[in-house]
Amino acid sequence: MYVPKAGQYPHTELPEQPGFTQAGLEAASSSDLSPENETWSTAVNPWVGAPLHLSALFSPSVTSAWYGEHHGRANPAGGENACMGTSGERGFAGPTFFSLPGNGSASVPFAEMSGEEPYTPAEAVGLPSDTKTGPTIILWPEGTAASLSSATLVTSSGAPTAIRIATPQTPSPAQPPGFPDVATIGGYSNGASFVIPVQPLAGSTSYVLTVIWQPPTGPPLTQTIRFTTATRYVGRLTFRTSGKRLIVSGTPTVGQRVTIQAAWGVTVCVEPRHPCPAVAIRHEFYRPTQRTLRLTKPSISMVLPRRLRGATVFEVFVTMPEFAAYGQRWESNTLTATSR
């Protein structure tokens, strides 16, 4: 497995680094790596909340896609990782407009807290990375050199929603070390533009997004996208430790069987100093274990891996599919808890 150099641009492989291959170099330049401990499943898209990555992976002009994932402690990036790439390019006979979510979509998430490198479209338009917004809507103009001129987002009853717009011409915010010095977000957006609702949207509500595109010559072109947001979720999972066990509790107890996946991790200081220097911190992850939580009971306990029982700090990553029962829905399908 390829071992990256500290501070290295992630979309390349360096010949002088262990594990370098020409095939790996080609894959790195045309693919996206998922966050630590995230792989594709019916419950999780690893790139949700990463609009720049999604703009490449869901680009309507590509002709093929590939996907791979890695499991186990040998992975230096974590216990699990996924990698997906695209290639090829098709043409369009005339102006054709696409969006994510697509026109007519239902159960669109009403809120998002985006995060990715080198930055998010929301950061490019002045919204800090820890800001909870509405869902970032990705727009692709194909078969035309039209640029996004304006956009409005309203409910089906006509109530306006505040939005911000990022286009390929939007200046780039500060970029992390190792990334190319790109003046505008067009270097990462694959020609896509983005509409970001400033605040989370209302749940179970129909919205209409109207986008005006201006070609180099001729009259403006209009794109209309209608979608409905998901029901606002109210479910919660909470965590606590008791001796050798981790206790996972579900609220409300609605009588629903939910299969959860728990991945355990611990932060280790390889140099016994206090405080631990950043260069001495190592993250160790363990193969996930499947358990079923029956929410007619208030909680279920899981035995901690032996190596974690003496740890002062460890993290638990829990994944479960969204579900509804008796009018209740769950807020998140991925949760993280830290216990001391």
pLDDT of residue 209: 98
Highest mean pLDDT among 81-95, 235-249, 264-278, 309-323: 81-95
Residues 305 and 195 in one domain: no
Residue 259: pLDDT above 80? no
Is 5 contained in some domain? Answer: no
Q: Which residue has the higher pLDDT, 203 or 321?
A: 203
Q: Provide the CB-side half-sphere exposure for 117 (13 A, CA).
A: 15
Is 57 contained in some domain? Answer: yes
Residues 200 and 307 in one domain: no
* Rounded-to-integer distance, Cα 340 and Cα 295, Å: 26
Domain that holds residue 78: 22-87
pLDDT of residue 64: 92
Residues 80 and 154 in one domain: no
Give the torsion sign (CA, 64, 119, 334, 236). Answer: negative
How many domains does the chain divide into?
3
The last residue of a domain, from among 66, 87, 108:
87
313-333 average pLDDT score: 50
Cβ(10)–Cβ(117) under 8 Å? yes
Residues 265 and 292 in one domain: yes
The CA–CA distances, whole Å, from 24 to 30, 72, 83, 118, 251 equal 10, 20, 11, 21, 45
Q: How confident is the model at residue 163 (pLDDT cuts 50, 70, 90)?
A: very high
Residue 76: pLDDT above 70? no
Sorted by sequence, the CB contacts under 8 Å of residue 126 that are 6+ apart come out as 164
42-67 average pLDDT score: 86
Residue 326: pLDDT above 50? no
Identify any residues that bridge with 45 across adjacent strands, giving them in sequence order: none
27-41, 208-222, 306-320 — which is least confidently predicted?
A: 306-320
Instruction: Give percent of the chain with pLDDT exceeding 90.
Output: 37
Is 189 contained in some domain? Answer: yes
CATH number at residue 317: 2.60.40
Is 323 contained in some domain? Answer: yes
Query: For the whole prediction, is pTM greater than 0.95?
Result: no
Is 12 contained in some domain? Answer: no
Residues 118 and 75 in one domain: no
